[in-house]
Structure 1
């Protein structure tokens, strides 16, 4: 889309294009196989770093160590979602015209590594004492925000690269391969390394975060070999006002995508609770910090388990049904946590396993992305994905207020209120269309089409 394109013409062009009848060469199929493997490897290595910085468990626990207030913890979701939403909105048009998308993916992964390297350096023995508590809190939140700015650009880059290089009928398989294999390897690493750095009520943050940074560097190197045709298009003049207007026009004119964004906003409310699950467990059940090792393992196991369900189902039935199922899992999570802390000895034994449902969240994000990738043609992917990410982030401005409300009222009041919002979002999924079943739905990506019978 150039800078002179009127917003109303954008939505008109979003109708699915007819499939091409051009034959697929063996070289093209080989390229799909290579890219499938490398993008799977990329996500596997990324997950091996991600498990050491789990923002629902390790990150808030470390912040509680240096701050301790619920309202400070409440800044984590808003900083994370602003970082994942606003920079992609400004970057989407540039990414669309970038000749090779893999360099954006590699560069943003290095940015993630740099941010976590800075976090790790803050917790080197002696450095933390020299900095002081206030500077530690500010620095922690600052590096956390920079990390998620890089993560937001990275997720936009991955979604765009996937839309360009992987045909729709293989995207569920990609999610399955990367999440299941990645979870198994990440869990093994966590079970091996975390007990060395997290025992009793002692946590060696510099080693945990330093390993995460190293894994992010490895993920950046893994995408250098992607086989990608250069895109030949000229970016228009950068204008934040125009970019915001284009996102608004997408929501105004595309009623199908507007409903997706309403559901995405409801999902965004659930993300505000993630730092508070571990706080609920620690305040009501009083486990040692070392219990977080098991929580991290269970959460990543949940991602693998739900990928085994969601990946094949997405390829078979489409992403609408996967989105509906995963949102149901997200919806019952806050209600289940409140029920268990009031269930006596039974709740104490079962609460750890609740983190299985936290593992639904990455699959839900991927279902939103894959649904949108099929809803519009390739050239509109960056703009639509950035707009969708912004809609997920909008509720997050209330995140510090949510932390304060927990301090002033109770976990029960806040968790039940957000469950009601999630129930409304889940009901709206029954009004979504399934793009794969629409006439003229295409499997084209980049400059070639791939026969659905071709195997990776």
Structure 2
């Protein structure tokens, strides 16, 4: 079981921190909806290159950045007295790649050549390196300042508030910005994402965080970080089982970039549907977050995972069925359903921080992220298969793999009813 928030925190400080985290996460979600990984990013890449192989590289680069950077910096974060400073800086820096891309589109008169795909992928990796560190830091701050029995509802509330604001802005702005053809709309979209992301970074300075008394962080080589991860997996069977479930689940993200290309092909390649899909996905996230957050707070995170993973296994099958049998206007249901994927990722992290002491949260989160990187080595191959044999066979294979993860959730222990905490 994870540690409770510090006893020295007053009731007013706890309420303040909940409000501050709500503001930060709501702003973060507003920025995120305008760069949705299953819709906006692959749609922009397709304006440069329509190769399924290059599109399939997006999940690999996404997960590589999110996994390796946190692994190398987990020890430094755990020994940092004020974690909110890392949260603020990494969120702020996440806006920089998008402002860079917006400037490139403007300077290139919205006619970037195919070779720019490699510049885009580089900026994409930089962003997800920052995001990986940011995600690890945000979960560490959540574990430090918010009690386990309030985390699910806080995340559900942030999801509801952030998505309401994000959907309203998407309907107002994306409906206009996506009308012109080519790359021009993405200049405004990326500028908006970068600006709001930086604002979210500034907002996290509002947190009232007591400083930890820790030793000075000493940079460690990558080999040491990898050995530490292997040792954690060897010594903690509960973490090992969580990582196995997470590895199977994360295959669901390897096909994310292909959802929008399949839908666009069926809708006559009209980009106005992108806005509807973005909105549907984030409304889906709110619905799944509310249900799983209630379950997690009342009966434990394990119950939430037992709900979410079977639903995730159905997503590729649902997409394939809608693409084959339903009218194009029904394809938005796919994006509503895959709104559960980021919710599941958060629940897995919440499980990780409940099975160890607060001082080890960064190590456990970075270990979980590293394990989830392995399936993404197959994402370019999956992209090539989609080009070669179509989407149905790869989608069915992913559904079977995620289904195996859903079965394994019934072998997971519940941290709140077992003494699972790993001591230093």
Query: 1:34 maps to which residue?
Result: 16
The two structures have a TM-score, normalised by structure 2, of 0.95
Within the candidate set 122, 125, 150, 2:104 is matched to: 122
Does residue 220 in structure 1 map to residue 201 in structure 2?
yes
Counterpart mapping for 1:127-206 below 5 A: 127-129=109-111, 132-134=113-115, 136-199=116-179, 201=181, 204-206=185-187
2:34 aligned counterpart, secondary structure: helix
* Distance change in 2, residues 1:201/1:330 (3 Å): farther
Does residue 432 in structure 1 map to residue 407 in structure 2?
no
Could you tell me whether the CA contact under 8 Å between 1:83 and 1:152 is conserved in 2?
Answer: yes
Q: Deviations over 1:185-207 (max 9, x none)?
A: 10001001112211164551110
Gaps of 5+ in 1: 1-14, 443-456
1:418 aligned counterpart, secondary structure: helix
Could you tell me whether the CA contact under 8 Å between 2:288 and 2:343 is conserved in 1?
Answer: yes
Within the candidate set 239, 250, 264, 1:257 is matched to: 239
Could you tell me whether the CA contact under 8 Å between 2:88 and 2:202 is conserved in 1?
Answer: yes
Paired residue total:
420
Could you tell me whether the CA contact under 8 Å between 1:272 and 1:396 is conserved in 2?
Answer: yes
Counterpart mapping for 1:3-402 below 5 A: 28-124=10-106, 126-129=108-111, 132-134=113-115, 136-199=116-179, 201=181, 204-234=185-215, 235-343=217-325, 346-402=326-382
For 1:128 and 1:431, locate their aligned partners in 2 and report how far apart those are by CA, in whole Å.
52
2:123 aligned counterpart, secondary structure: helix
Does residue 403 in structure 1 map to residue 371 in structure 2?
no
The two structures have a TM-score, normalised by structure 1, of 0.89
Q: Deviations over 1:357-382 (max 9, x none)?
A: 11101110110011111111111110
Could you tell me whether the CA contact under 8 Å between 2:248 and 2:402 is conserved in 1?
Answer: yes
Could you tell me whether the CA contact under 8 Å between 1:330 and 1:360 is conserved in 2?
Answer: yes
Could you tell me whether the CA contact under 8 Å between 1:16 and 1:376 is conserved in 2?
Answer: yes
* C-alpha displacement of 1:291: 0.6
For 1:435 and 1:30, locate their aligned partners in 2 and report how far apart those are by CA, in whole Å.
28
Q: Deviations over 1:421-449 (max 9, x none)?
A: 1111110000001101125989xxxxxxx
1:32 aligned counterpart, secondary structure: helix
Could you tell me whether the CA contact under 8 Å between 2:356 and 2:420 is conserved in 1?
Answer: no
* Distance change in 2, residues 1:137/1:318 (3 Å): same
For 1:179 and 1:351, locate their aligned partners in 2 and report how far apart those are by CA, in whole Å.
23
Q: Deviations over 1:98-150 (max 9, x none)?
A: 11000100110111011111111121163554x6331x111111111111111
For 2:310 and 2:219, locate their aligned partners in 1 and report how far apart those are by CA, in whole Å.
42
For 1:428 and 1:328, locate their aligned partners in 2 and report how far apart those are by CA, in whole Å.
11
Could you tell me whether the CA contact under 8 Å between 1:164 and 1:378 is conserved in 2?
Answer: yes
Gaps of 5+ in 2: none
For 1:110 and 1:117, locate their aligned partners in 2 and report how far apart those are by CA, in whole Å.
11
For 2:53 and 2:206, locate their aligned partners in 1 and report how far apart those are by CA, in whole Å.
44
C-alpha RMSD of matched pairs (Å): 1.9
